[in-house]
Amino acid sequence: MNLEQLFIENKEQSISGRYLTLDSVEPLLKKLNTNNELSIIGQSVLGEPVYKYQIGSGKTRIFLWSQMHGNESTTTKGLFDFFNLLKSGSELATQLLDTFTFCALPMLNPDGARLYTRVNANKVDLNRDSQDLTQPESRVLREVFEDFKPHYCFNLHDQRTIFGVEDSGKPATMSFLAPSYNEAREVNDSRLKAIELIAGINSVLQRYIPNQVGRFDDSFNINCIGDTFQYLGVPTLLFEAGHYQDDYKREETRKFVFMALLTSYKILSENDIVVNGIENYLNIPQNKPVFYDFIYKNIKINYDGIEKITNFAAQYKEELIGNDIVFNAYIAEIGDLEGRFGHYEYDGKGATYQDEHQNFPKLDQKATFNLDNNIKFVNGLIKI
């Protein structure tokens, strides 16, 4: 199975970038709705429809949801790429639809998506509302779960550019978790199924992004939806779509989301369970917050008349301006930065820092400055 070619053939070209709203995906859902697969199963706080897309007639029921956090759109793109495959009429599509019934909520938090926020319109993190169910979106998710009675759950998220694969200096382009079902983080039959499936996904992704797959922290929190569904006895997989080199729009990462989804269903349909699944799963390195977007090394600063050589880092903030996400770089840390990596690194070799305010960087100011008066950085990058 040529995963690269399948992605190219099925990539949904009409959606791209980081800002994905209901306006973007509603026409796609209606286009995919050729046999009454689409329904509105609830409303957001601000009255936006929450859609369910259900397709397939197989015995194994798969429940997926994306954009529970409104500013996490990469898995939504990958999900629509996968929907296109299911609608392709290919032999593979027929096999998948005969084996599985897929039930997806492609955009659980449409208000957060429009505002480009993690939380919903009531400023509640839906992934901390699985017990109290205070929000309409949380209640919709739980109602579909109870009605659909899935055999597997796929909890689809993005993670920030700060995450790397332990201390390897490699970004965590994809990370996974089989959530715990209790405080002791024990492995029961349900969690083992998720663990074995992730081990199989990882073995395939290593061919495409070697050493760029991480394992998310498995501390138990019953308020998180994945932990709750695992606690209720349904194998649940957390997907975290992260950074790929120079891919701030996450167009490369969406490919690996597609690959991971398709691989998981091939494994399940062929019962191709990984031997020593727990060991292989635990050998996936931990996700660690070790990255900044920019690191500047060996920079000379003048502070109160004292010159010293130091390092500093800058991090993008994703800011919604109009209908565009603008990446603005702000200085985030100053010091030796031991154990930290930059997606972009620059060695100043003792060049002197200057900006329009002072002769030293200041936390939270824009990363626009000069080195030795002849190298200009604007918004983190060298201005050519």
Q: Which CATH architecture has domain 3-289?
A: 3-Layer(aba) Sandwich (3.40)
Q: Where in the chain is the domain with CATH 2.30.40.10?
A: 291-382
| Residue 277: predicted pLDDT | 86
Q: Report the chain (384 residues): mean pLDDT per 10 consecutive residues.
A: 96 97 97 97 98 98 98 98 98 98 98 98 98 98 98 98 97 98 96 96 97 96 97 98 98 98 96 81 97 97 87 97 95 96 97 89 95 94 86
Residue 299's nearest CA partner among 372, 359, 348 is 348
DSSP state of 128: G
- Per the structure block, which two tokens stand in for 132? 């109290």
CATH 3.40.630.10 in the chain: give the residue spans: 3-289
- In degrees rounded to 5, what are phi and psi of residue 232? -80, 5
Fold of 291-382: Urease, subunit C; domain 1 (2.30.40)
Sign, Cα dihedral of 32, 33, 34, 35: positive
pLDDT confidence of residue 304: 77
Among 259, 264, 263, which residue's Cα sits nearest to residue 11? 259
CB atoms near residue 196 (< 10 Å): 22
Q: How far is CA 280 from CA 72, 73, 163, 273, 285, in A?
A: 28, 29, 21, 12, 10
Are 145 and 229 spatial neighbours (Cβ–Cβ below 8 Å)? yes
pTM above 0.85, yes or no: yes
Q: What is the pLDDT of residue 384?
A: 67
| 149, 59 contact by CB (below 8 A) | no
